[in-house]
C-alpha cells in the first residue's frame, strides 16, 4: 500500500521506483493513494491512467477526491478507482473494489474519518456493511482509512480486528512508526506517509506555510521538490486473509 502521491514530483518518484519495488517484493496487489497527485489536491484522469498503467491495481482517494472535474468520469467508470465510501451519497464512484489477483479476489475499502474532515457519514456508521460485502467475495480485505485523528484510526482498526487483513491510515503525510499486527490478525499503521517531497511542510514549500502561520496571509500552495521519498507499507497475509507481518517502506524517489 503506497502513501499519498503528492503532485508531479510524487508522480515522477513512483514512476521511477515502483518497478523496483515490484521486482524486490513481488506483491500480489498494489494499492496507491492518489488523492494529492494533481498539484497537491485531487487527481486528474491522466494521472489515474498513468498510475494504473505503471503498476497500481487499485487507486484510493480522500477529502480531495472530487476536486478535479475530469476525474469524476474515471470514478464512475473504472471500478479500480475509489473514493471514500462516506462522501456524499450521490458523489460519483464507489468506496469498495474487488479485484482479481494471482491469489484470487482481493477487496479494497476506501473510507474517510469524521474528525477534522468533512464526511457525509461517520466511518463507524457504514464500515460493517462494506466489510460484510467484501467478505462475501474474499477473505483478503484491505482498508485505506483517510483520516486526521490518530484516535479515530486506531479505534476503527481495533473495531475491525479479526475481520479485515489490514487498516492503513492515510492523509497526514507523516509516516508513523506504530506498525503492528493486532491479536485478531489485522495489520495496522496510523499513517503510510507521503510519496513526495519531504523537505517541505507536508509537501508544500516550507516558506509558504511558515509565512501563512506568521502573517495569516494565504497564498497559492506550491509543491516542494527536495528530499523525495516513496513511502508505504508491505503487508503479508496467510491463506485465511489474516496478516502475519507489516513492514514500513520509505525509499528515495
Q: What is the pLDDT of residues 219-234, one digit of tens each?
A: 888 999 999 999 999 9
Q: What is the pLDDT of residues 45-71, one digit of tens each?
A: 999 999 999 999 999 999 999 999 999
| Catalytic residue positions, numbered | 64
Q: Which three cell numbers stand for residue 189?
A: 499503521
Instruction: Over range 101-121, report the average pLDDT.
Output: 94
**Could you tell me the pLDDT band of residue 39, with boundaries at 50, 70 and 90?**
confident
Residue the block writes with cell 517531497: 197
Residue 217 has pLDDT above 90, yes or no: no
CA distances to 24, 84, 183, 202 from 214, in Å: 45, 34, 45, 17
CA distances to 99, 166, 239 from 103, in Å: 11, 17, 9
Residue 218 has pLDDT above 90, yes or no: no
Long-range contacts of 174-177 (CB under 8 A, 24+ apart): 174/202, 175/3, 175/231, 175/248, 175/250, 176/150, 177/248
Report how far residue 179's alpha carbon sits from residue 79's, in angstroms, rounded to the nearest whole number: 29
Q: What pLDDT score does 151 carry?
A: 97
Q: What pLDDT score does 104 carry?
A: 96
Average model confidence (pLDDT) for the chain? Answer: 96
Q: What pLDDT score does 220 carry?
A: 85
**Could you tell me the pLDDT band of residue 79, with boundaries at 50, 70 and 90?**
very high
Residue 107 has pLDDT above 90, yes or no: yes
Instruction: Over range 7-25, report the average pLDDT.
Output: 96
- pTM value? 0.95
Q: What pLDDT score does 189 carry?
A: 98
Q: What is the pLDDT of residues 125-184, one digit of tens each?
A: 999 999 999 999 999 999 999 999 999 999 999 999 999 999 999 999 999 999 999 999
Q: What pLDDT score does 89 carry?
A: 86
Amino acid at each position: 500500500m503506497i502513501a499519498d502521491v503528492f503532485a508531479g514530483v510524487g508522480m515522477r518518484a513512483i514512476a521511477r521506483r515502483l518497478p523496483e519495488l515490484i521486482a524486490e517484493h513481488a506483491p500480489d496487489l498494489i494499492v496507491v493513494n492518489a488523492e494529492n497527485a494533481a498539484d497537491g489536491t485531487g487527481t486528474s484522469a491522466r494521472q489515474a491512467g498513468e498510475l494504473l498503467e505503471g503498476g497500481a491495481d487499485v487507486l484510493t482517494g480522500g477529502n480531495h477526491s472530487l476536486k478535479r472535474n475530469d476525474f469524476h468520469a474515471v470514478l464512475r467508470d473504472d471500478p479500480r478507482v475509489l473514493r471514500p465510501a462516506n462522501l456524499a451519497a450521490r458523489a460519483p464512484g464507489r468506496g469498495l473494489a474487488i479485484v482479481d489477483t494471482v491469489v484470487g479476489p482481493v477487496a479494497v475499502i476506501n473510507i474517510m474519518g469524521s474528525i477534522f474532515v468533512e464526511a457525509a457519514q461517520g466511518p463507524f456508521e457504514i464500515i460493517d456493511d462494506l466489510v460484510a460485502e467484501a467478505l462475501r467475495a474474499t477473505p483478503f480485505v484491505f482498508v485505506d482509512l483517510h483520516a486526521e485523528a490518530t484516535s479515530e484510526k486506531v479505534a476503527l482498526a481495533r473495531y475491525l480486528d479479526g475481520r479485515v487483513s489490514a487498516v492503513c491510515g492515510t492523509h497526514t503525510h507523516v509516516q508513523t512508526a506504530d506498525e503492528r499486527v493486532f491479536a485478531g490478525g489485522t495489520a495496522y499503521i496510523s499513517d503510510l506517509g507521503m510519496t513526495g517531497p519531504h523537505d517541505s511542510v507536508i509537501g508544500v514549500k516550507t516558506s509558504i506555510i511558515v509565512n501563512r502561520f506568521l502573517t495569516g496571509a494565504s497564498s497559492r500552495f506550491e509543491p516542494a521538490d527536495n528530499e523525495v521519498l516513496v513511502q508505504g507499507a508491505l503487508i503479508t497475509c496467510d491463506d485465511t486473509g489474516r496478516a502475519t507481518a507489516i513492514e514500513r517502506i520509505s525509499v528515495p524517489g
